Each structure stands twice: as structure tokens, then as C-alpha cells.
Structure 1
Amino acid sequence: MPLPGQSAQIDFPELTADCSRCAALCCVAYPFEEDEDFAILKETDHPCPNLSPSCFNCTIHADLDTRGFGGCIAYSCAGAGQRVTEVLFQGETWRDDPDLLPHMTHALRVLRPIHEALLILQAAAALTLPDALRAELTRLSETLAVRDGTSIWDFEEPEVQAALAQVPEFVPRLAPYVVPRG
């Protein structure tokens, strides 16, 4: 039985990136601007030229920083990449079927902000909160988690997108309950 201000465990999806279970979607989905974070200009939905042509490995991964790809080091999909690859596309990849590329990258661009919001809500779940805030946290978390989602449309549903839009307004209300580190 949870104590007042706490609730039963919220069932969050996996929120840690595991590149070995993804189809290198981040290396394809996003554009690069040639600047301090990326040494090259790359268009949206085009594979990075440093991506191995035979697999989903980066050919310069060990040297990303010295080669001018700090943006790759800083990036995390928060588990959205493997969820897209394994759940929404059942392990099929854009290399197996190039027609999947725009669909997979669109799915990553939809799921990543949801997973980032869930990371914040997961941290908030450890706080001792008043019942009303705890209930709102649970509602937002459960709506965004889309536990039975098997299609990108499940994540584009109006209630999911509305919950995502509510997170930036919800988070500042948690400030009084955050205990400063020692």
C-alpha cells in the first residue's frame, strides 16, 4: 500500500537508449547543420555518410568528438529508437526495405519527445507529492506511455499529444517538492 503522497509503481516503457537494438534512426532522421556540433551538412531522412553501408554502426564512433560530431555524443533518443525498430516495425528496417525510411524516421521524431517527457515524469515519480499532483503525474505518465501502442498512430492520438503539451506546464509545479542534493 503506497504512503500518502506516493503511488503504486508507474509502468514506464524502457527509457534508456540501446543502439544495438535500433536501426540507426538518429543517424538518418535528423538534419545536421555544419557548425560546432556537426562537421557536415546533412539533410533530413538521409543517412549520415559516416554510417557503415553494411550495418547500422558508425564508422567514426570512437572519434566523434575529434572529428567534429559532438552533437552525436550529446544526443539520446531515450529508448525511442529501439521502440520504433522493435515494436512499431517488428524488427524490420529501412535497410531491408528502403520504403520504410520516411515512416521509421517520422516515428522516431514523434516518439522521442514523448520518451523525453517520460524521463522527466519518471524522475518526478520518486518525489513525495500531494495526492492531486500525484494523480496528475500518473495520468500524464500513463497517457504518454501508450503501453499497448503498436502503430505510430497510437502516439499521434490527440490525448497523447495533449498530455505531451501539458508536461512543460506541469513540471514547474513540482519545484516545491524537490529536495536539494546535499
Structure 2
Amino acid sequence: MRLLLRVLAPLFALLLAVVGLGIVVETVTLWVAPAASPLVVPWPSWRAAVEGLTWQSGSVRAVAIVVGVVGLFVLLLGLVARRHDVYLADPVPEVTVTTSPRSLARAVGHDVRSHDDVVSASVVASAKKITVKAATLDPAEEVRASLRERVDETLLRLPLARRPRVAVSVTTTKGVK
């Protein structure tokens, strides 16, 4: 979502800049040479078309609905694309300490991968939940219990303000001997 927002924001800004520049050019052209106006935008014909419209016109209502839907889409996109920080315990009341979910996943993943029985592992973290998926050559249930303990120990070492739920799944893979 953040990538989409990073693409849309400059496009909207460019669109507004072009519209603003067009308005300035048309205004200056009208002031300097009224006979040469309009330069780019056919605003006299647009003005004549708009003069006959009222708030009850179907086209006015359709444009209002489209603008409202686009505005709502942009608002929702901005709300969804916000940063999802993981809050840590504040050292003093005036200081707020956060980390990224990626950093939390990296810390947990490092401890999970350092386990002797783990062949590979992936960790996804958020402020509410940490999901660990690991592969092992040994029986999965034994490794799952020890990995769960290891993740719990890692979370106890970290000064998290709120402890996330933990889900650990382990699969047994066939190794090459």
C-alpha cells in the first residue's frame, strides 16, 4: 500500500501543478491580451455550458459522487498505508520508543535460525502477532516446543510494551545425507 501511495502522491501533485499553471497562464493571457484569450483551455465555451447547470442536474450529482468516491479512496489508502510501529517500553514518560515489525522479525528470526535443529525459517511480525515457520530434519513436535520456548525467551529479553501472540509451525523436510 505504501508503494501505491508513493506513486499516487507525486501524480496528484503533478496534476495539481499543471492545473494551477494552466489557470495562471490563462489569467495572465486574459489580463494582457483579452482578444487572444483563451490560450489553451476553452473556458468561454465551458462557462456557457456550466451556466445552465443547477445542483439538481444529473451531471453535477455524478461529478460530486465521483469526486467523493475518489476522495474516500485516497483517504482510506492513506489510513491503510500508515506505519505499523511496534512500541517498546518507554524509558521515561517523555520518550516514546518504537521499532519496525521488520526489525522485530529479524531479531526473532536470528534466534530461531540459531537453533541447531532448524534448517530454514521465516518470521513475520507485527505489533499483535509473530508467525514463525521453520523446517527441520528432526520430528517436528519436539523442535516446535523448543522453538516456542526460544521465541518466548527472545520476547522476554526485548522491552516490548505489549507482548504479541506467537504462532510457531514446524515442518519436517527430507534432508540429503
Q: Same-fold call, TM > 0.5?
A: no
TM class by smaller structure:
under 0.3
Return the TM-score normalized by structure 1. Answer: 0.24
More helix by share: 2
Which structure would you say has the larger RCO, counting Cα contacts within 8 Å and 6 or more residues apart?
Answer: 1
User: Which is greater in Rg?
Assistant: 2
Return the TM-score normalized by structure 2. Answer: 0.24
